[in-house]
């Protein structure tokens, strides 16, 4: 098992696995927005076959070398193609990959490394053993094939009350392809929460990356 920086001849295999096993944030079309600030890595088996990958965003701040998620990118991966079907074999393969990643990270010339892993990774023992600080995060996934009634039943009482109040107040959600409106709402949200926003990358996401094949937006009013 090895991890290497992605080179041109391996990009096609990387992309195929990213499409089948990863998220849109692992795709090369997303990562190219960050130019040379993002470093893309392939994961290879003992026979040098591509089996997965991840990426890191590198920046300098106050003289420190920092590795983290790229802006507007919830996880770095990893994504992995596992041919084994036995649950124990799958778990062992993931653990092997994560140990390889901890070894790789320890050899990076970093001052700070702060990353978020693939939502499907629930066993972070390799990172704990190597003294990385692990913080548990939660992600809600809604199955849109279910009816609105079934989705509502699975919500918390507080969230369900919020939805019902919005309906009583006459709020509606409507599809919109006006990304300028989306941009203004995103900026207002960050300002309201007193958080900084990188408008350079926000513009790239909305006006360079987003299209009808990979994105859609709804606006509430």
177-221 residue pLDDT tens: 999 999 999 999 999 999 989 999 999 999 999 999 999 999 988
Tell me how crowded residue 41 is: count the other CB atoms within 10 A of its CB: 20
Cis peptide before 28 (omega within 30 of 0): no
Task: Classify 2-129 by CATH class.
Answer: alpha beta
Rounded-to-integer distance, Cα 55 and Cα 59, Å: 13
Rounded-to-integer distance, Cα 142 and Cα 151, Å: 7
- DSSP assignment of 48-105, as one string? --EEEEEEEEEEEETTEEEEEPPTT-S----EE-----SHHHHHHHHHHHHHHHHHHH
Question: CA–CA distance from 36 to each of 14, 25, 32, 79 (Å)?
Answer: 18, 16, 8, 21
117-176 residue pLDDT tens: 998 898 999 999 999 999 998 888 889 899 989 999 989 999 999 999 999 999 999 999
Question: Which pLDDT value is given to residue 138?
Answer: 85
Q: How far apart are the first and last CA of the chain?
A: 51
22 pLDDT more than 90: yes
* Residues in the chain, total: 221
Nearby residues of 155 by Cβ (< 8 Å), 6 or more positions away: 163
Structure tokens that stand for 133 in this block:
């600080």
pTM for the whole structure: 0.88
Nearest to 52 by CA among 14, 5, 90: 14
pLDDT band, very low/low/confident/very high, at 83 (cuts 50, 70, 90): confident
- Numbered ranges of CATH 3.40.630 in the chain: 2-129
């Amino acid at each position: 098992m090895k991890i290497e920086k992605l080179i041109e001849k391996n990009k096609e295999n990387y992309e195929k696995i990213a499409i089948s096993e990863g998220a849109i944030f692992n795709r090369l079309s997303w990562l190219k927005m960050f130019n040379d600030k993002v470093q893309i890595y392939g994961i290879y088996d003992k026979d040098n076959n591509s089996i997965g990958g991840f990426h890191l965003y590198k920046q300098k701040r106050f003289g420190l070398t920092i590795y983290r998620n790229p802006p507007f990118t919830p996880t770095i991966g990893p994504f992995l193609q596992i041919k084994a079907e036995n649950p124990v074999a799958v778990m062992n393969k993931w653990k092997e990959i994560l140990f390889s990643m901890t070894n790789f990270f320890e050899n990076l010339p970093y001052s700070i490394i702060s990353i978020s892993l693939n939502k499907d990774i629930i066993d972070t023992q390799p990172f704990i053993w190597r003294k990385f600080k692990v913080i548990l995060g939660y992600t809600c996934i809604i199955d849109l094939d279910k009816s609105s009634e079934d989705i509502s039943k699975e919500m918390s009482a507080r969230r369900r009350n919020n939805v019902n109040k919005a309906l009583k107040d006459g709020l509606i959600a409507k599809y919109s392809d006006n990304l300028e409106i989306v941009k203004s709402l995103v900026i207002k949200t960050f300002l309201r929460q007193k958080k900084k926003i990188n408008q350079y990358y926000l513009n790239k996401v909305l006006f360079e990356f987003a299209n009808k094949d990979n994105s859609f937006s709804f606006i509430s009013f």
